[in-house]
Chain A
Amino acid sequence: MDPTIIGTLLVTMMLVLLLSGIPIAIALAATGVTGIIAMRPWGAVEYLLANFPYSYTATFSFIVLPLFLFMGYMAFSANLSRYAFEAGQRWLGHIPGGLAIATVFACAAFSAVCGSSVATASTMARVALPEMRLRGYKYSLAGGCIAAGGTLGVLIPPSGVLVIYSFITEVSLVKLFIAAVLPGIMTAVIYMICIYVMVKIKPDLAGMERGIIRATWNERFVSLGRAWEVMLLFSVVMGSIYLGVATATEAAAIGALLALIMVLRRPNAWENLKAGLWETGAGTSSIFFLIVGAGLFSLALNMSQLPTLVADSIVHFDLPPIAIFALIIVIYLVLGALVDGISMILITMPIVFPIILQLGYDPVWFGIIVVKAVELGCITPPVGLNVFVVKSSVPDAPLGEIFKGCIPFVLMEFLIIGLLVAFPQIALVLVGD
């Protein structure tokens, strides 16, 4: 049988399996194994499959993932988000929508030490939402800004999603982290401006904001001092990577050790450590299960030459690259609403990445765009993981209100993606060569 027909059948098989509710890793691996068996003699299949689980995971640079996961859980357990929120409150709390703006600030700060959007949204929901409700904020603004602010966790380095993108595409993780800094800050600032404008237009969104007194300069600087642990962790991890003092893996190990020390200085240290280690272990296993599955799928697809064929055909359509790129983004936005970000990247990259390279787009810049699509998926139904996280942290909050509150931030995300497409330098200016 023609390998490209096999490739097309494999993609169909993978989609059918995905819809059957089987674990995504199994859907990818089963498709990959079937393809390899169909296209190679048994002797080769035997060696490939026997060696694959080792050769695809036993790589030193992959250690970065469990270490960043662990650092994130420890930062979560150490309650670092509370100090970041307090600092945001002191500096920004007095302006219209100040608490929501402070929440986004705290989300950005916490994201800088935690690469997970779920952890960021979950911790901020517990810290900031009760405070905002007390001040009369509507659930839509309070819940929406936390769900949207939480998405900064997947963009601002150290981002777990960028680590996965780097694994699967072999794009430099350091470059990806550096490229994400400016878009991350830009996203946070645009969210803050959006909240300010919304509250200016519709003041009742933020209640009456009674009892908020402008903090003195002394109080502001003291609050920054209290958030020293967040600043220390971020400086050590990103500073050492940016200055070239340490590799991403080494920086992750040092960051994890610092975060662990922070947890050990607090009450319930042993309980928090155990929970963090279990979550890290389970998270690492499930993500690598997906990576191995995606690797087998990618291997089979490459044997079928389908990705090259698709990339060649698309280029020969003579469509402007921006039209093809727009089509890819639309696919990502649809997928992002159906599957989680990590799975989305692992499922699509074997086909999409060769096309992007063929079209001449920068793979580092494209990584940032993909992460923006993942962010959108976190706050749009039906998956909208962050919205459900906020809801589970505060069960009284109506789900519909939180989704409604996300709409302005979804629109802002489209604006940011547009800006990144129009001005790729926003992402690439710090990367250099």
Chain B
Amino acid sequence: MVPFAHSSPFRVSVMMIKVIDVFERFLLRLGIASGFLTLFTMLVVVIDVAGRTFLNMPLIGGNELAVLLMVALIYLGMAAAQQRRHNFAIDLVTRLLPTGALRVVNIVTSLISTTLLGLLTWLTAELSWSMMLSGESSYGIIAFPVWPSRILITIGLGCLTLQFLFDLLRHLGLVPENAADNEKVSI
């Protein structure tokens, strides 16, 4: 772990730092677990194709289930992808900046990211809640529930917001560098 070097007039308690550390490790594991959903998605599509081709019996609700799995795969892995810096960015200009200026830019960009994702989380949460209460489902051969996908999106965006918030706290010098950075990606 990189030593906590920044001095700041504000302090985040040791307990809070531990909570952040534990939560970040959880987000990483959530990302790894979401990768496993690829297998289930693949199996659902293959079973549907095999059933349709050889038995003339498609997997009813298979497409809807595959979409639900894909939504989980996409959104539950976003925080881990950000934590591991998998998201594409252009560092052509920022790598030329002196350390102080770079820190300011990082604080501003983390603030923008946190605010934007916080807004999206809030709005999707409101809609998910109302859709869950109304039991939103798809119109098809079977009424497949859609609201779980919306809940998963809200959870995924919420986790991503927290990851950007942790990054912001780190750029502000309130939290030490990421302990999970040194952790091998494994289960």
- In the assembled complex, the CB of A290 is this many whole angstroms from the nearest CB of chain B, namely 7
Assembly CA distance A377 to B15 (angstroms): 47
Closest to A25 in B: B87
Assembly CA distance A26 to B185 (angstroms): 25
CB within 8 A of A30: which of B93, B116, B146? B116
Closest to B66 in A: A63
Assembly CA distance A245 to B109 (angstroms): 48
CB within 8 A of A58: which of B32, B67, B90? B67
Assembly CA distance A49 to B88 (angstroms): 23
Q: Mark A231-271 against chain B: 1 for CB-CB distance below 8 A, else 0.
A: 00000000000000010011001101100100000000000
CB within 8 A of B126: which of A50, A53, A256, A279? A50
B80 & A290 in contact (Cβ 8 Å cutoff): no
Binding site for A on B (CB under 8 A): 31-32, 34-39, 41-43, 45-46, 49, 63, 66-67, 70-71, 73-75, 77-78, 80-82, 84, 86-94, 105-106, 108-109, 112-113, 116, 119-120, 123-124, 126-127, 146, 149-150, 153, 157, 185-187
Assembly CA distance A274 to B43 (angstroms): 17
CB within 8 A of B86: which of A17, A26, A33, A283? A283
CB within 8 A of B82: which of A18, A23, A59, A277? A23
A282 & B81 in contact (Cβ 8 Å cutoff): yes
Assembly CA distance A274 to B35 (angstroms): 9
Consensus secondary structure, chain B interface = helix
B123 & A46 in contact (Cβ 8 Å cutoff): yes
Give chain A residues whose Cβ lies under 8 Å from the Cβ of B38.
Answer: 66-67, 70, 256, 277, 280-281, 284
- In the assembled complex, the CB of A45 is this many whole angstroms from the nearest CB of chain B, namely 9
Q: Does A418 contact B (CB under 8 A)?
A: no
B45 & A24 in contact (Cβ 8 Å cutoff): no
Assembly CA distance A285 to B33 (angstroms): 13
CB within 8 A of A62: which of B32, B70, B77, B78? B70
B89 & A60 in contact (Cβ 8 Å cutoff): no
B39 & A24 in contact (Cβ 8 Å cutoff): no
Once A30-B112, A49-B123, A253-B42 are accepted as A-B contacts, the answer to whether A20 and B94 lie under 8 Å apart by CB is yes
